[in-house]
């Protein structure tokens, strides 16, 4: 079997298949293969997989660095989170094992003409949701799949019922693809996931943007306001269509669009361009109304509570610096207490730190985990400081970076949230500026303290509500900012 020949799930009939990583995609692949009469071997480092809807299965627990239990397989379907460049993947290939991705297998065997694939460092989920919402509002059967929505090849998904499939695709998945949907959408580009992509930003860019040049792609729609994308034109296919931020379009279609910030409006304009290029009948009034009824995604600049004018906003989907920068700009007129940090993927936080410095209103920075510490070190270095044992810093509104600012290095989300609340209360009765915002926008993944971003956001929401309830029950509770 050639190492480069495209495969489909159907091609795996009669072969010994291993599934490396028993997450959402891994389980979807398991049940899909079972429906085709093939029972694969499941392999993961996690312990405790005891039941698959009452089915018997073969499971092997992998030890750190030991991939040998999969050497006997003909094909291994790896989890997207496992880098195609890692030592274990290379070891499998040396033993003659094909290492493939589930999305690649699936796209080989489906009609891609009515498939829209969306990628980008930020804005993917919002753009996928907008495209799906617009199509449904026009009476089309459409569904969201991939990272947002269900795994399209999961037997329980409604993929086969949809005329239009809108798939959110990550660089992890795209790096393994042999083909793609007819419409490719690129929302933004900035360094991310470098640890997966050989710790090399150019590898990340190539892996993500190869979507534009894959067999099956007929149109590429690109955010024309993104400077990094403008510099990577050679990677965007033969004839990319650049979408610009145009006020007349914004005024016409988005006057009642509820999502804050120019970045969200840019995502809306990309979605609009996609729908207009799919060859379906539409009328302008229906599109305008559809934008007015679109609801923001959970955990994407989602207001979860308010107390004495203080807004508590969950932007837990922001696992990279770029969406966090956009979130800060959405509250440019407000005092902001921002909770940052998580697992460190080695990305450059210089741009984010510059935006923190330039925020024109008072700002409180609360950092968590490895990425948070690195953000704090960069911020403090600019102010001639370094991290101390107290982890607490106060800066008056003097010097090169002129806004009033505070920085706290915290151990837990609960600690950060209480300090953020105490800080925000000191601005809640000010009449010379807008009410303050407590913003969870981590600019990093959650794996150092939580299973995923959903668990982190749910903890944030739960603790916000508990904290407000405590205050309302006892006005004597003191939230210390020191």
Q: What is the mean pLDDT of each run of 10 residues along the chain (482 residues)?
A: 80 96 92 94 75 71 92 97 96 97 97 96 95 97 91 94 97 97 97 91 97 97 97 96 96 93 94 96 94 90 94 94 92 95 91 94 95 95 84 67 80 96 91 92 86 92 95 63 42
| Cβ-proximal residues to 279 (8 Å cutoff; 6+ apart), any chain | none
Domain membership flag for residue 38: yes
- Domain boundary (224, 259, 292) is at 292
Distance between CA atoms of residues 337 and 405, nearest Å: 10
Q: Are residues 215 and 343 in the same domain?
A: no
Domain membership flag for residue 480: no
Token couple for 470: 């405590």
Q: Are residues 76 and 143 in the same domain?
A: no
Task: Check: CB of residue 325 under 8 Å from CB of residue 351.
Answer: yes
Q: Are residues 38 and 167 in the same domain?
A: no
Domain membership flag for residue 83: yes
- Fill in the DSSP letter of residue 463: H
Q: Are residues 288 and 307 in the same domain?
A: no
Q: Are residues 277 and 308 in the same domain?
A: no
Q: Are residues 145 and 200 in the same domain?
A: yes
Domain membership flag for residue 368: yes
Token couple for 156: 């329980």
Q: For the domain that residue 403 is a member of, what is the CATH number?
A: 3.90.190.20
Domain membership flag for residue 431: yes
- Domain boundary (260, 292, 324) is at 292
Q: Are residues 63 and 47 in the same domain?
A: yes
Q: Are residues 206 and 118 in the same domain?
A: yes
CA 469 vs. chain centroid, Å, equals 31
Distance between CA atoms of residues 76 and 391, nearest Å: 46
Alpha-helix residue ranges (DSSP H) falling in 246-296: 247-253, 262-276, 284-292
CA 392 vs. chain centroid, Å, equals 30
| Number of domains composing the chain | 3
- In angstroms, what CA-CA distances link 452 with 350, 438, 463? 25, 21, 17
Q: Are residues 375 and 460 in the same domain?
A: yes
Q: Are residues 126 and 77 in the same domain?
A: no
Q: What is the pLDDT of residues 245-304, one digit of tens each?
A: 999 999 999 999 988 889 999 999 999 999 999 999 999 999 999 999 998 888 988 999
Q: For the domain that residue 265 is a member of, what is the CATH number?
A: 3.40.1190.10
Tell me the backbone φ, ψ of residue 224, rounded to 5 degrees: -75, -5
- Closest by Cα among 238, 240, 185 to 211: 185
Terminal Cα-to-Cα distance of the chain (whole angstroms): 64
Alpha-helix residue ranges (DSSP H) falling in 307-401: 321-330, 350-358, 369-382
Note the pLDDT of residue 452: 87
Domain membership flag for residue 478: no
Q: What is the DSSP string of 12-23?
A: GTTS-EEEE--S
Task: Check: CB of residue 181 under 8 Å from CB of residue 233.
Answer: no
Task: Check: CB of residue 311 under 8 Å from CB of residue 437.
Answer: yes
| Cβ-proximal residues to 233 (8 Å cutoff; 6+ apart), any chain | 240
Distance between CA atoms of residues 379 and 385, nearest Å: 9
Q: For the domain that residue 44 is a member of, what is the CATH number?
A: 3.40.50.720
Q: Are residues 345 and 459 in the same domain?
A: yes
pTM: 0.82
Task: Check: CB of residue 359 under 8 Å from CB of residue 331.
Answer: no
Domain membership flag for residue 482: no
- Domain boundary (55, 79, 103) is at 103
Token couple for 185: 């959408």
Note the pLDDT of residue 53: 57
Residues of the domain holding 68: 10-103
Distance between CA atoms of residues 400 and 11, nearest Å: 63
Task: Check: CB of residue 186 under 8 Å from CB of residue 220.
Answer: yes
Domain membership flag for residue 52: yes
Burial of 5 (0-12, 13-18, 19+ CB in 10 A): exposed
Token couple for 241: 């269509």
Q: Are residues 14 and 94 in the same domain?
A: yes
Note the pLDDT of residue 403: 65
């Amino acid at each position: 079997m050639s190492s480069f020949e495209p495969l489909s799930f159907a091609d795996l009939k009669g072969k010994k298949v291993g599934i490396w990583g028993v997450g959402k995609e891994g389980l979807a692949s398991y049940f899909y293969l079972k429906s085709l009469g093939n029972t694969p071997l499941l392999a993961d480092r996690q312990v405790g997989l005891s039941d698959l809807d009452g089915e018997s299965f073969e499971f092997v627990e992998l030890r750190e660095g030991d991939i040998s239990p999969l050497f006997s397989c003909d094909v291994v379907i790896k989890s997207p989170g496992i880098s195609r460049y890692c030592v274990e993947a290379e070891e499998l290939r040396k033993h003659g094992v094909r290492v493939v991705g589930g999305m690649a297998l699936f796209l080989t065997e489906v009609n891609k003409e009515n498939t829209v694939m969306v990628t980008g460092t930020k804005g993917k989920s919002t753009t996928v949701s907008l495209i799906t919402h617009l199509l449904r509002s026009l009476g089309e059967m459409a569904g969201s799949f991939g990272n947002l929505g269900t795994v399209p090849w999961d037997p329980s998904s409604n993929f086969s019922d949809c005329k239009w499939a809108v798939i959110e695709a990550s660089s992890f998945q795209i790096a393994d693809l042999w083909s793609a949907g007819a419409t490719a959408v690129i929302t933004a580009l900035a360094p991310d996931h470098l640890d997966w992509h050989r710790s090399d930003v150019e590898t990340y860019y190539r892996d993500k943007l190869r979507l534009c040049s894959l067999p099956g792609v007929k149109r590429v729609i690109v955010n024309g306001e993104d400077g990094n994308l403008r510099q990577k034109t050679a990677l965007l296919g033969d004839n990319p269509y650049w979408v610009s931020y145009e006020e007349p379009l914004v005024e016409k279609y988005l006057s009642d669009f509820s999502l804050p910030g120019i970045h969200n409006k840019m995502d809306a304009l990309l979605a609009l361009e996609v729908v207009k290029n799919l060859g379906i009948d539409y009328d302008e009034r229906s599109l305008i109304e559809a934008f007015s009824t679109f609801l923001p995604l959970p955990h994407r600049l989602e207001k979860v509570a308010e107390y004495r004018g203080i807004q508590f906003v969950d932007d837990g989907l922001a696992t990279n610096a770029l969406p966090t920068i956009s979130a800060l700009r959405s509250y440019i007129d407000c005092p902001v207490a921002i909770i940052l940090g998580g697992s460190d993927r080695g990305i450059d936080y210089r741009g984010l730190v510059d935006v923190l410095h330039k925020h024109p209103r008072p700002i409180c920075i609360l950092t968590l985990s490895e990425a948070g510490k690195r953000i704090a070190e960069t911020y403090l270095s600019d102010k001639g400081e370094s991290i101390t044992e107290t982890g607490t810093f106060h800066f008056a509104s003097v010097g090169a970076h002129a806004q009033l600012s505070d920085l706290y290095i915290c151990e837990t989300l609960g600690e950060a949230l209480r300090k953020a609340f105490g800080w925000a209360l000191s601005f809640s009765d000010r009449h010379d500026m807008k009410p303050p915002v407590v913003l969870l926008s981590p600019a990093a993944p959650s794996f150092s303290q939580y299973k995923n971003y959903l668990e982190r956001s749910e903890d944030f929401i739960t603790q916000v509500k508990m904290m407000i309830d405590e205050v309302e029950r006892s006005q004597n509770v003191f939230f210390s900012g020191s």
